């Protein structure tokens, strides 16, 4: 049976995990990392995803796409989105449906199309790791994601070729991963501060049941914002010192972003750090360099208000759950930003107890998702899990020309269904009713988010207040809404699955899925081309290095053979301009010939260099040992431990 995976589609990094014999395991990417940067880039030749895309952000800022999770399922006119539009280096515009479009290469696409490329990379890595197809997944989202954002995330999975079995909230997934239900009934709170979003959820757990009592959060508060505060500070200091505004230089901004992230990580363990960026820009007088010493205390002052903002949501979640802080047994920390010492300190001060740090905060969400995926797949090695999640925001409709009438209040356990049959017409002989579906907490409809509209027509003529209509809201386990209106007299009804105006419709999703399938072979050829080029360049470099370092040791005939083979390979390299299979085959053959010739010379050199030298003799006929001490092993650094 094919594996079902759990995916944490993060703002900064994404993680995928699966369950093997009842134990969750995080999948390593093709690049050898457990974290896949949620970054996509378009260069002259191809699209690249993950660490390769992240590594070229400085040289290709306008076609490197990151923090897409902050944009997915959002309206262009949203104030938080408008802030991002001013900070992100790539082009963003309003779509025809009032949503968001991003200039991706030479086309404009919805954010979920770019997120789908990250998911497709994760899918491919998982298939390579497991050695079998991966077609189904459980994907996590912030608990405070609204209906549009959840649907857009599900669409991204579909475009990537995944059947999304369930969308679950990140804090709930984290609680599952901690396995706290094995420790008896508990009330816990999950504090999730990630790369782009903040979530807090209160849960009651025990006997395999995870019941969310309340949730709150901010979908525009995370590590990106901590970085931005420092970037703004550096820009201001440079302008004060040099009179140049670095906001106008996309390449400089990307270098500042990288420097801010590194400084943030360093200051988690050091008292100060130096930011040194030579040749950050130039003016008529010549190049300019950026240099700053930043102390931990100064950085903490800059970001203190962001940390304090998180407790507004924490207080709201505790109040909505109807409990006090003293009733919380465990505080679970999730997300890379929770590694920051000041965050841990403030959480401990607020709750009066040390937070639980027993699981890797970067991986815990994907691990929990994989356990839920195993349950949905019928894996008998995993204890059955019952998730009782909640909807983060109230759902209702517009009535009386402007009021918000709530059918499903926020923090209602899902799945749920609610029907009310007391709706009627507002004017005599009204032929139809328009149903405007809303999400939010404001009393006036105009202040809440419109999820969708539909019309029930064909109403028999009658005085106002005479016809009766039943409106049904059905919220599924993914937090996705279906709405139905029914004329109780004629039994005529109309219904929709909410697909907000910011999202792709099914035809558009199908189009992208079809394009992905049609281009699969082309994409594989392009991958083969890049691999062949990389291998050829590597072998050429190794050969030229060997010849340079061993001029006097390589036989003349071997030297000529290698030089001829190098020139042949270089010639074939120049001809590989696209994914033409014949050109690729010629390059691969030339590379193979060069590699074989190189290996032959390597072997000859090794034999000549390994001939035993005369050893000093102490007269006993036994070689005298030297006084050389064995070398100390080099330190192995795990880059993931340094990821904040």
User: Which residues are the active-site residues?
Assistant: 8, 69, 170, 192
Nearest to 47 by CA among 107, 133, 131, 110: 107
Are 356 and 381 spatial neighbours (Cβ–Cβ below 8 Å)?
A: no
Are 138 and 376 spatial neighbours (Cβ–Cβ below 8 Å)?
A: yes
Greatest Cα pair distance, the chain, in angstroms, is 124
DSSP state of 444: B
Pairing of strands 13-20, 432-439: unpaired
**Distance between CA 190 and CA 177 in Å, rounded?**
12
Nearest to 219 by CA among 504, 56, 449, 510: 449
Are 358 and 380 spatial neighbours (Cβ–Cβ below 8 Å)?
A: no
Q: Would you state the torsion angle of the CA atoms of residues 10, 11, 12, 15, taken in this order, to the nearest 10 degrees? A: 10
Quote the Cα angle for 101-105-109, to 5°: 25
> Residue for token digits 């009386």?
400
Phi-psi category of 135—alpha, beta or left, where left has phi over 0 and alpha has psi -120 to 50? alpha
Q: Give strand pairing partners of 290.
A: 277
Judged on CB neighbours under 10 Å (0-12, 13-18, 19+), 500 is buried
Nearest to 175 by CA among 480, 399, 354, 386: 386
Are 148 and 479 spatial neighbours (Cβ–Cβ below 8 Å)?
A: no
Helix H or strand E encompassing 403:
strand 403-408
Q: Structure tokens of 188?
A: 């816990």
Q: Which residues contact 81 (CB under 8 A, 6 or more apart)?
A: 70, 71, 74, 75, 100
Q: CA of 170: how far to CAs of 174, 190, 319, 363, in Å? A: 6, 9, 21, 11
**Distance between CA 177 and CA 199 in Å, rounded?**
17
Nearest to 216 by CA among 109, 314, 83: 314
Q: Give strand pairing partners of 190.
A: 201, 332
Nearest to 62 by CA among 104, 93, 95: 104
Q: Structure tokens of 505?
A: 């419709």
Secondary structure (DSSP) of 506-573: HHHHHHHHHHHHHTHHHHHHHHHHHHHHHHHHHHHHHHHHHHHHTTTTS-HHHHHHHHHHHHHHHHHH
């Amino acid at each position: 049976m094919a594996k079902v995976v759990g995916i944490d589609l993060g703002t900064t990094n994404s993680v995928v995990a699966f369950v093997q014999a009842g134990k969750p395991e995080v999948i390593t990417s093709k690049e050898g990392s457990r974290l896949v940067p949620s970054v996509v880039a378009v260069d002259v030749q191809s699209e690249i995803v993950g660490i390769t895309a992240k590594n070229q952000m400085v040289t290709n800022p306008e076609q490197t796409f990151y923090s897409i999770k902050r944009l997915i399922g959002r309206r262009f006119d949203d104030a938080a989105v408008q802030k991002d539009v001013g900070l992100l280096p790539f082009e963003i515009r309003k779509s025809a449906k009032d949503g968001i479009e991003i200039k991706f290469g030479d086309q404009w696409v919805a954010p979920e199309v770019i997120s789908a490329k990250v998911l497709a990379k994760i899918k491919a890595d998982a298939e390579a790791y497991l050695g079998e197809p991966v077609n189904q997944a459980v994907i996590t989202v912030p608990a405070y994601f609204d209906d549009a954002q959840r649907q857009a995330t599900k669409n991204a999975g579909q475009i990537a070729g995944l059947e999304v079995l369930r969308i679950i909230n990140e804090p709930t997934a984290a609680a599952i991963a901690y396995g706290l239900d094995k420790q008896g009934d508990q009330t816990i709170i999950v504090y999730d501060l990630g790369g782009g979003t903040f979530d807090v959820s209160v849960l009651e757990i025990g006997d395999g049941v995870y019941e969310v009592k309340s949730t709150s959060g901010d979908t525009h508060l995370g590590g990106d914002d901590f970085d931005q505060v420092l970037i703004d500070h550096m820009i201001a200091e440079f302008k004060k010192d040099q009179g140049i505004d670095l906001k106008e230089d996309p390449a400089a901004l990307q270098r500042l972003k990288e420097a801010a992230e590194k400084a943030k990580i360093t200051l988690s363990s050091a008292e100060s750090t130096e930011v040194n960026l030579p040749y950050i820009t130039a003016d008529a007088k010549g190049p300019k360099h950026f240099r700053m010493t930043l102390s931990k205390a100064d950085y903490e002052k800059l970001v203190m208000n962001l940390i304090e903002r998180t407790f507004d949501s924490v207080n709201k979640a505790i109040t909505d759950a109807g409990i006090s802080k003293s009733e919380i047994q465990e505080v679970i920390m999730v997300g890379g930003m929770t590694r920051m010492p000041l965050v841990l300190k403030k959480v401990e001060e607020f709750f009066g107890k040390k937070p639980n740090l027993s699981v890797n905060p970067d991986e815990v969400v994907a691990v929990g998702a994989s356990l839920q995926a195993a349950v949905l797949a019928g894996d008998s090695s995993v204890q059955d899990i019952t998730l009782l999640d909640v909807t983060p925001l109230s759902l209702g409709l517009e009535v009386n020309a402007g009021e918000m009438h709530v059918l499903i209040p926020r923090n209602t356990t899902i799945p749920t269904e609610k029907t009310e049959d007391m709706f009627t017409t507002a004017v005599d002989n009204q032929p139809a009713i328009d149903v405007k579906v809303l999400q939010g907490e404001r009393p006036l409809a105009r202040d809440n988010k419109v999820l969708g509209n539909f019309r029930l027509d064909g109403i028999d003529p009658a005085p106002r207040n005479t016809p009766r209509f039943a409106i049904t809201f059905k919220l599924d386990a993914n937090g996705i809404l279906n709405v139905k209106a029914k004329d109780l007299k004629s039994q005529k009804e109309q219904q929709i699955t909410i697909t907000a105006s910011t999202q792709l419709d099914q035809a558009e999703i199908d189009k992208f899925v079809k394009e992905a399938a049609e281009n699969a072979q082309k994409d594989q050829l392009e991958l083969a081309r890049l691999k062949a080029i990389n291998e050829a360049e590597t072998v050429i470099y190794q050969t030229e290095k060997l010849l340079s370092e061993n001029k006097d040791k390589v036989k003349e005939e071997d030297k000529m053979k290698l030089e001829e083979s190098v020139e042949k390979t270089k010639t074939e390299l120049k001809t590989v301009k696209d994914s033409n299979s014949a050109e690729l085959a010629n390059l691969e053959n030339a590379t193979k010939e060069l590699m074989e010739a190189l290996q032959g010379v390597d072997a000859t050199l090794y034999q000549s260099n390994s001939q035993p030298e005369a050893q000093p003799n102490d007269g006993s006929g036994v070689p005298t040992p030297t006084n050389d001490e064995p070398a100390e092993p080099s330190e192995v650094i795990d880059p993931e431990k340094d990821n904040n």
